[in-house]
Amino acid sequence: MSDTNLSAVMYARNDLRLEDRPIPEPGPGQVLLEMQQVGICGSDIHFLTNGRIGDFIVKAPLVLGHESSAVVSKLGPNVTSLSVGDRVAVEPGVPCRVCEFCKIGRYNLCGEVRFCATPPDDGTLARYFVHDADFCFKLPDHVTFEEGALLEPLSVAVHATNRAGVGLGQTVLICGAGPIGLVHILTCKARGASVVCVTDIDPARLKVAKQIGADHVVTVTGKDSLATAQAVEEAMGDKVDISMECSGAEASIQAAIYATKSGGTVVLVGLGHETARLPIVNASVREVDIKGTIRYANCYPTALAMVASGKVNVKPLVTHRFTLEESYKAFDVAKKGEGIKVMIRCSRV
- Residues 108-141 pLDDT 10s: 999 999 999 999 999 999 999 999 999 999 999 9
**Contact between 268 and 292 (Cβ < 8 Å):** yes
Q: How far apart are CA 329 and CA 326, in angstroms?
A: 5
Residue 247 confidence (pLDDT): 96
Looking at the chain, the whole-number percentage of residues with pLDDT higher than 90 is 96
The stretch 74-97 carries a mean pLDDT of 98
Total residues found in the chain within this entry: 349
Q: Is pLDDT at 25 greater than 90 in this prediction?
A: yes
Residue 1 confidence (pLDDT): 46
**Contact between 78 and 46 (Cβ < 8 Å):** no
**Contact between 317 and 341 (Cβ < 8 Å):** yes
Q: How far apart are CA 331 and CA 318, in angstroms?
A: 14
Q: What is the chain's mean pLDDT, rounded?
A: 97
CATH topology of domain 6-150+314-345: Quinone Oxidoreductase; Chain A, domain 1 (3.90.180)
Level-2 CATH architecture, domain 159-292: 3-Layer(aba) Sandwich (3.40)
Using CA atoms, how far residue 261 sits from 135, 257, 265, in Å, is: 38, 8, 8
Q: Band the pLDDT of 3: cuts 50, 70, 90.
A: confident
The answer to whether the pTM exceeds 0.75 is yes
Give tens-digit pLDDT for 191-217. Answer: 999 999 999 999 999 999 999 999 999
Residue 295 confidence (pLDDT): 97
The stretch 159-173 carries a mean pLDDT of 98
Q: Is pLDDT at 294 greater than 50 in this prediction?
A: yes
Q: Band the pLDDT of 251: cuts 50, 70, 90.
A: very high
The stretch 41-68 carries a mean pLDDT of 94
The stretch 321-343 carries a mean pLDDT of 96
Q: Where do the structural domains in the chain lie, given as residue ranges?
A: 6-150+314-345, 159-292
Q: b/e per residue, 169-203, with b = 16+ CB within 10 A?
A: ebbbbbbbbbbbbbbbbbbbbbbebebbbbbbeee
**Contact between 294 and 109 (Cβ < 8 Å):** yes
Residue 2 confidence (pLDDT): 58
